[in-house]
Amino acid sequence: MKTLCSLAILLVVSCYSNAQQPLNKTSVSRDSKRSDSPETTFETYCLKNALSVIEVVEGKSSQYVLSGEVKPSSTKAASYVDYDIQLKEEETQYFQISGTNTILKAESLYRLRISYALTLQKL
């Protein structure tokens, strides 16, 4: 019984001492850095990373199931908003850029969330 009481007191004291420890400064500064920077939002990440361009050799385009056709963008860093593409949850979409042998790949939201979470862990 004496041992049980001493273990209970030790548990209470250790819980109290852990509650009184200050926050880890590096994690606090990292969290504030994430919230202050507009680059770390998921929406901004999607605007920058949702699209990729695939150069296709003639005859090889049949390996992609095309979701439609888009007009070439005037800006080099165009996003899915510029092409008026709606990202889908679990489907990677492929669009033929009209007048070229190029396919525009729009990643699924599922894959974007995973890669976004991985980039946050690297910070």
Alpha helices in 2-70 (DSSP H): 2-19, 25-36, 42-49
For 61-122, the DSSP string reads GGGS-EEEEEPPPSSTT--TTTTT----SS--EEEEETTSSEEEEE--HHHHHHHHHHHHHH
pLDDT digits (tens, 9 = 90+) for 11-21: 666 656 555 65
Sketch the domain layout of the chain as residue ranges. Answer: 25-122
Which pLDDT tens digit goes with each residue over 17-74? 555 655 444 444 445 455 555 556 999 999 999 999 999 887 776 788 999 999 998 8
Output the pTM of the full model: 0.64
